[in-house]
Amino acid sequence: MSSTVELTKENFDRTVTENPFVLIDFWASWCGPCTQFAPVYEKAAEANPDLVFGKVDTEAQPELAQAFGIQSIPTLMIVRDQVAVFAQPGALPESALTDVIGQARKLDMDEVRRNIAAQQDGAQAE
């Protein structure tokens, strides 16, 4: 059984809202690097059962890919407390994926929100 969740425009918002930590793999079946990354992603999902690992098929869900400005696939995104804290195109090796998950777990989300607010205030002042 797969430990990843297929994300669609119907369940995306609910999944991200109801779960404090969601990893999202934007992929397509014709994409070679995507199929190479899939078992690495699946293994990480099995190793981190407390996190939600979602997959967005960019062919079936072009609106989601467009909404997030996905230019190349695979792209990995991490959303914590409804804030995108990581987004990077390219298939990550297992060690890099483990490292990114560890770093995202350690983030102080209060500090992240303060930084976002400060950036927004700065942008509005310009």
- 31 catalytic? Reply is yes
Spot the catalytic one: 7, 23, 31, 76. 31
Spot the catalytic one: 7, 22, 24, 34. 34
CA distance 11 to 1: 20
Residues in the chain: 126
- 34 catalytic? Reply is yes
Tokens of 17: 């809202």
Torsion on CA atoms 3, 53, 28, 35, rounded to nearest 10: -60
Q: Which residue has tokens 């994409």?
A: 31
Residues with a known catalytic role: 31, 34
